[in-house]
Amino acid sequence: MFSGIVTWKAKILDISWWTFVVENTFDTQELSVWCSIAHDGACMTITSFSKETYSFFAMQESLSKTNFWQKKAWETFNVEQCIRYGDRVDWHFVTGHIDTTWTVKSTHIATDWSMELVILYPQAFNPYIISKWSIAINGVSLTVVQDDIDSFSVRLIPITQELTNLWTLTKNHTVNLEYDMLAKYAYKHAQRT
């Protein structure tokens, strides 16, 4: 389980046979083989690590559900370690299981220096998009500002732009989306009653 409060980016140093070698931006004492780290919101298992780098393997299921197949060396991941019991809850629950990928429709910097992202998404997922509710984009917990039939918008405050890779997004970029877990449970329960 993750928080969606992303404070680190990490460079992809190499991709070979879908093994990603990533810059280690964490305290090595907190890493181990088999530990889970979210990469653009997708929970991946660490297979090896050193002080400078770590690696993970992305199987076909992960590639089909994420934007990993588009990633290139020297691009960045938003990275986050899993939460600990006892942490403060300043976020929404992010599972690390990506629901779908979809496309950036537009970006815009507002006069208050916040950045608006408008994301196109499949109409079938509309029940999970709720204005003023949470969504994770590339692993970052954000609030839905506007909800339309086939797109939604969020705003990034300057510190989110600085600490994540979302500020690099432009029209037609592919992003990982994880819809709010409570919205999914509520919708499934409503469908059964």
Specify if 26 maps to a domain: yes
64 and 123 belong to one structural domain: no
Q: What is the pLDDT of residue 108?
A: 96
Query: How far is Cα 51 from Cα 29, in angstroms, rounded to an integer?
Result: 9
Specify if 88 maps to a domain: no
Q: Is 184 left (phi over 0), alpha (psi -120 to 50) or beta?
A: alpha
49 and 108 belong to one structural domain: no
69 and 105 belong to one structural domain: no
Least confident range of 40-44, 88-92, 137-141, 156-160: 88-92
Name the band, by pLDDT with cuts 50, 70 and 90, for residue 125.
confident
Q: What is the pLDDT of residue 91?
A: 63
Q: What is the pLDDT of residue 15?
A: 97
For residues 15-38, average pLDDT: 91
Model confidence pLDDT, tens digit, residues 49-80: 999 999 999 999 999 999 999 999 999 999 99
Q: What is the pLDDT of residue 86?
A: 75
Specify if 91 maps to a domain: no
75 and 28 belong to one structural domain: yes
For the chain, the average pLDDT equals 91
29 and 59 belong to one structural domain: yes
Checking if the pLDDT of 189 tops 80, the result is no
182 and 113 belong to one structural domain: yes
Domain hosting 131: range is 100-192
What's this model's pTM, rounded to 2 decimal places? 0.92
Q: What is the pLDDT of residue 90?
A: 67
22 and 66 belong to one structural domain: yes
Count up the domains in the chain and report the number: 2
Specify the CATH number for the domain of residue 70.
2.40.30.20
Specify if 75 maps to a domain: yes
Specify if 50 maps to a domain: yes
Name the band, by pLDDT with cuts 50, 70 and 90, for residue 120.
very high
Q: How far is CA 41 from CA 11, 34, 51, 62, 82, in A?
A: 15, 17, 23, 11, 11
Model confidence pLDDT, tens digit, residues 8-18: 999 999 999 99
Specify if 2 maps to a domain: no
104 and 180 belong to one structural domain: yes
Query: How far is Cα 15 from Cα 188, in angstroms, rounded to an integer?
Result: 38
Residue whose structure tokens are 């990490």: 10
